[in-house]
Amino acid sequence: MTKRFGAVQALNDVTLDLPGGSVTALMGENGAGKSTLLKILTGDHRPTQGRVLLDGRPVDLRSPADARAAGIRIIPQEPEIVPHVSVAENVYTGSLPRRAGRRLDRAELRRRITADLDRLGFADVLQPDLLGSQLTAAQRQLVEIMRALTGGTAARVIAFDEPTSSLSEHEVDALFALIDRLRDQGVAVVYVSHRMQEILRLADRIAVLRDGALVGVRDARTTTEDDLVRLMVGRDLSTMFVRRPVVGDRVVLDVRGLTTDRVHGIDLRIHAGEVVGLAGLIGAGRSELALALAGDLPVRSGSVTLDGRPLPSGSPGAVIRAGLGLAPEERKAQALFLHRTIRDNTSIAVLERLRRFRFVKRGAERDLAQEYIDRLRVRTPSIEHEVRKLSGGNQQKVVLARWLARRPKLLILDEPTRGIDVGAKAEIYRIIADLAEQGVALLVISSELPELLGLADRIVVMQNGRTTGELNRAEATEEAVLALAMADDISTSASGAAS
């Protein structure tokens, strides 16, 4: 398979087989060609050269309908859900049961969804009457999975594109159990992810792409993390985390008793040069706290000062001008101008600074933006390329580059490495360390504990909108963080056991 987009060679003569009854993971740096390969399988792109064989016979995949008819399904990263209709109607869009007069056959719809939920083992996690707008990220994904596994030709090939990025641990377990069942049924599963641990746990084989070429297929039982990283980036990444000198004593952020609709009585202090990690399970209130600090969510009570001055509340623009930056979790949806160039998207944050300080040189600012684009190794033909044409991971790097170039007094990074490849992760860790060394205060939210443990000088843990504890570098272990993240549950079950 070869695929060119103008001058960009996205895939270069890739030959790969996907055996039934096994899980093949697809790994590679951002822009290596993973999504392009999936899109050819699903009929969304036509290859420049090459063909697809199913059970030894060539199949012509001219459209998503062709792929579906052939039994090839993909679970996309961002499921398309209709907000104002029920789960059942979302699952069977296009093939809804109708009565005479084209009226929706609600009784038949309910019978069908109940049977399918039972068969797939989703009955206790997905209520058929919920509206699309009420679904969690995990539930939205389950709707996509149900679409793929119900009706029409039985699925032969199912591809998952970074399915776990917005799932909680419990939901990941449920997804893996489902994938195991698909494997047992003889389906060829393709699994795209940047999460090494997950891949080593789930996959049978690991195929690695680099610059559009297949550089190796490894047996998951015998390969190692180092081996895979070397294949992916073509070099050794000796140190992921960089140690830094100790923190200063100037308090940059001082939060007292901050309360919003979702978080209660938060006290938090971050010093110049300090990296504070914010841990907690999904729904603990970490992103809400970040958004409240950034002026994006209303604050009910409490006080926040930045460098000794009260931080304006309720106005993201004023907060940014005061020196607080937030790179939000949903970077693509919340932060990018997709039809503008990389240069526009990166310089936007610094242009504002240009307006405020008239003597800053435009060229210098642009160089700064370019520097971060280079350091994050955004894979693009030029800085004038439109952002929508970049791979997902490279789009995320552009948003990060923008904030890094801006250098606020306090930078909040919400899941900064989600969807980002190992090479760029190492670079982001280094940039965080550099910023801290320059005296920037950092608050890092991450669901990947090894990442938080490696980065943070101190870890604050949240549960149900409150902080449940704080651990310094020496005390912080995965177990200690998890114990605090589930503090209520543990004490409830312990008291239950005692009684």
Residues that bind ligand ATP (CB under 6 A): 5, 8, 10, 28, 30-36, 379, 389-394
Return the number of the residue (36 or 164) whose C-beta is nearest ligand ATP. Answer: 36
Q: Which is nearer to ligand ATP, 273 or 393 (CB)?
A: 393
Specify the residue, 164 or 391, whose C-beta has the smaller distance to ligand ATP. Answer: 391
Q: How far is the CB of 379 from ligand ATP (least distance, A)?
A: 5
Virtual torsion, Cα 280, 282, 283, 287, nearest 10 deg: 70
In the block, residue with structure tokens 């990941």: 172
Question: Minimum CB separation from ligand ATP for residue 4, in Å?
Answer: 9
Query: In angstroms, what is the minimal distance from the CB of 47 to ligand ATP?
Result: 12
Kindly tell me the sign of the dihedral angle through the C-alpha atoms of 79, 84, 89, 95: negative
Which C-beta is closer to ligand ATP: that of 311 or that of 398?
398
Closest contact distance (angstroms) between CB of 321 and ligand ATP is: 32
Q: Which is nearer to ligand ATP, 385 or 402 (CB)?
A: 385
Helix (H, G, I), strand (E, B) or coil at 57: strand
Give the type of residue at 452. Answer: L
**What is the C-alpha to C-alpha distance for residues 178 and 187, in angstroms, rounded to an integer?**
12
Distance (Å, whole) CA 394 – CA 342: 10
Residue at shortest CB range from ligand ATP: 393
* Choice between 64 and 312, CB closer to ligand ATP: 64
Half-sphere exposure of residue 184: CA atoms within 13 angstroms, side-chain side: 6
- Identify whether the C-beta of residue 18 lies closer than 8 Å to the C-beta of residue 188: yes
Which single residue is written with the structure tokens 């746990």? 201
Q: How far is the CB of 495 from ligand ATP (least distance, A)?
A: 46
Count of Cβ atoms closer than 10 Å to residue 147 Cβ: 20
DSSP string, 82-130: -TTSBHHHHHTTTS--B-GGG-B-HHHHHHHHHHHHHHHT-TTT--TT-
Rounded Cα gap, residues 85 and 13, in angstroms: 43
For ligand ATP, the closer of residues 322 and 390 by Cβ is: 390
- Residue 257 CA: distances (Å) to CA of 150, 263, 293, 303: 49, 10, 12, 7
CB of 40 to ligand ATP, least distance (A): 10
Q: Please state the closest distance from residue 30 (CB atom) to ligand ATP, in A.
A: 3
Phi then psi for residue 72, to 5 deg, are -105, 125
75 DSSP β-pair partners: 160
Query: Which is closer to ligand ATP, CB of 9 or CB of 259?
Result: 9
**In whole angstroms, how close is the CB of 7 to ligand ATP at the nearest point?**
9
| Closer residue to ligand ATP in complex, CB, 320/378 | 378
Q: What is the DSSP string of 367-432?
A: HHHHHHHHHTT---S-TTSBGGGS-HHHHHHHHHHHHHHH--SEEEEESTTTT--HHHHHHHHHHH
Least separation in angstroms between residue 26's CB and ligand ATP is: 8
How far apart CA 430 and CA 80 sit, in angstroms, is 36
